[in-house]
Amino acid sequence: MTKKIITRFAPSPTGFLHIGGARTALFNWVYAKKMGGEMLLRIEDTDRARSTQAAHQAIIDGLNWLGIECDGEPVSQFSRADRHAEISHAMVQTGHAYKCYCSPEELTQMRETARAEGRPPRYDGRWRDADPSTAPMGIDPVIRIKVPSDKEIIVHDHVQGDVTFKTQNLDDFIILRSDGTPTYMLAVVVDDHDMDVTHIIRGDDHLTNTARQIVIFNAMGWPVPDMAHVPLIHGADGAKLSKRHGALGVDAYRKMGYLPAALINYLARLGWSHGDDEFFTIEQMVEWFDLDGLNKGASRFDFVKLANLNGQHIREAEPAYLYKTMLALAKELDEQNDVAGLEGHKETILKALPDLQPRAKTVLELLSLAQFIYAQIPLEIEEKAQKHLTDDTRIIISQVISKLETLEDWQPDAINALIRQFSEDIDLKLGKVAQPLRVALTGRTVSPGVFEVMGLLGKNESLARLKNQIE
Ligand code: GLU
């Protein structure tokens, strides 16, 4: 029987779920799904000063919104501190680790000497082979791992290939602090082992940590999980991702009107490719995903590409889903007018959506495009639309009103035929008639086709809006 694939997402709860973290979670989740395995969630909350419950919740909410479901209950790394300590003591017993009694002053001195001699500032191993009976009284030691001398640690990485680290460049790092708390390096390894993690997919900023973690796996005789270190996301200008570049929490993307499917699609493309496919669903990604398709080169975050993909996902989405998303966003942003309008005109909005979808790149744009449906008379006319309402165009509007009043069959096709005929009769291009009508009916210069707009609004409301503009 082949071993069950287990991946994990291991965020530190010190802020929101940022897009880099979301992408890491996505790759772990997709790989587990593809392989019929599980993705576990481990909250790396050992930094008590910086870890908050709010950040923990933001990570869970962010994952939920993206539709990334973790298997089982989240594991708190902090709650496992006793187990981490136990392993460090076991390593002392087996001779793979040792107690070090150096004082802070000694360590400072060590660093300064190394620097003065032009060597990298490393721990010099003075307690590595010391006789424990020489231990000073009244000092709580740290525990350091005995990194094997003059060996090579090779990280076999699915993205980076084989990366070799010489052990003489890794000093005997601390695994348990003098207050008995584990270091990150130890906690990660013990947790990954105890959680039966088979594959670690994370940012390539962790690559050098991996060499140290392999020393711990080896000391314990534990199998080293498969590794895939994914290049970090950079800004559009190639610099480290900052807020200005889009290094925001996924909730910020929700509030900007991105669909989770689009954000997932975009994040996936930033680090993984499947031929030339740009647009895909998460189901397709699960079908196509392969660790070897992860890109080695750094990627650049590009808002324009994200918006274009979002537009495509909006076009493909079901109106009922979009309606729900629009309403949730209006509520989240506390746009009372939109909430009332959406709730009061659900059927009309559902009918209008197929016309609105191709015109919007974000859910916010969709909301704005839908506003004409529940706009109240007198309509607010957007500034750039006002030039279409002049004495001359008001005359045209009033003539159209008399024609429309006689129309029995209030359907876009019939309205279309009537207005085309009218334009021909008065020898004006259709646009010259349609645009003032559009402005009078919607207050905007951009909307679905003016005949569709009238169909959606119905005869009474359409005529009332037109009349209001000539009064
Ligand atoms: N907690 C670490 C971070 O947020 C991740 C550790 C890991 O994936 O091993 O960067």
pLDDT in tens, 200-247: 999 999 999 999 999 999 999 999 999 999 999 998 888 888 777 767
- Residue pair 433/419 in contact (Cβ under 8 Å)? The answer is yes
Check if 202 has its Cβ closer than 6 Å to any atom of ligand 1.
yes
Report pLDDT digits (tens) over 311-341: 999 999 999 999 999 999 999 999 999 999 9
Check if 443 has its Cβ closer than 6 Å to any atom of ligand 1.
no
For position 1, what pLDDT does the model report? 64
pLDDT band at 114 (very low <50, low <70, confident <90, very high): confident
Rounded distance between C-alpha atoms, residue 336 and residue 339, angstroms = 5
Span 396-416, average pLDDT: 97
- Quick one: 241 exposed, middle or buried, by C-beta within 10 A (0-12, 13-18, 19+)? buried
Report pLDDT digits (tens) over 211-220: 999 999 999 9
Q: Calculate the alpha carbon distances from 420 to 22, 91, 423 in Å.
A: 52, 87, 5
Tell me how far the alpha carbon of residue 47 lies from the centroid of ligand 1, in angstroms. 12
Q: Calculate the alpha carbon distances from 397 to 71, 260, 449 in Å.
A: 62, 43, 17
Cβ neighbours of 163 (radius 10 Å): 18
Q: Calculate the alpha carbon distances from 407 to 2, 264, 427, 460 in Å.
A: 72, 48, 21, 12
Q: Which atom of ligand 1 is nearest to the CA of 8?
A: 8
Predicted TM-score (pTM) of the model is 0.92
Please confirm, yes or no, whether 243 is among the known catalytic residues.
Answer: yes
Select from 51, 188, 199 the residue to mutate for testing ligand 1; criterion: most ligand atoms less than 8 Å from CB.
Answer: 188
Report pLDDT digits (tens) over 258-279: 999 999 999 999 999 988 999 9
Beta pairing partners, 249: 18
**Largest distance between two CA atoms of the chain:** 110
Select from 14, 202, 209 the residue to mutate for testing ligand 1; criterion: most ligand atoms less than 8 Å from CB.
Answer: 202
| Length of the chain (residues) | 471
Residues 118, 123, 126, 128, Cα dihedral to 10°: -130
Span 97-107, average pLDDT: 94
Tell me how far the alpha carbon of residue 188 lies from the centroid of ligand 1, in angstroms. 8
Rounded distance between C-alpha atoms, residue 380 and residue 389, angstroms = 13
Tell me how far the alpha carbon of residue 79 lies from the centroid of ligand 1, in angstroms. 17
Mean pLDDT, rounded, of the chain: 95
Report pLDDT digits (tens) over 418-437: 999 999 999 999 999 999 99
Instruction: Tell me which residue has tokens 């020898």.
Output: 427
Select from 17, 50, 206 the residue to mutate for testing ligand 1; criterion: most ligand atoms less than 8 Å from CB.
Answer: 206
Span 452-462, average pLDDT: 97
Nearest CA, atom 3, ligand 1:
11
Rounded distance between C-alpha atoms, residue 112 and residue 117, angstroms = 9
Report pLDDT digits (tens) over 34-54: 999 999 999 999 998 999 999
Report pLDDT digits (tens) over 77-94: 999 999 999 999 999 999
Strands in 174-176's sheet, in edge-to-edge order, are 97-100, 142-145, 174-176
Tell me how far the alpha carbon of residue 9 lies from the centroid of ligand 1, in angstroms. 8
SS3 content of the chain, % helix, strand, coil (to 5): 55, 10, 35
Catalytic residue chosen out of the listed positions 240, 243, 384, 429: 243
For position 242, what pLDDT does the model report? 76
Residue 2 confidence (pLDDT) above 90 = no
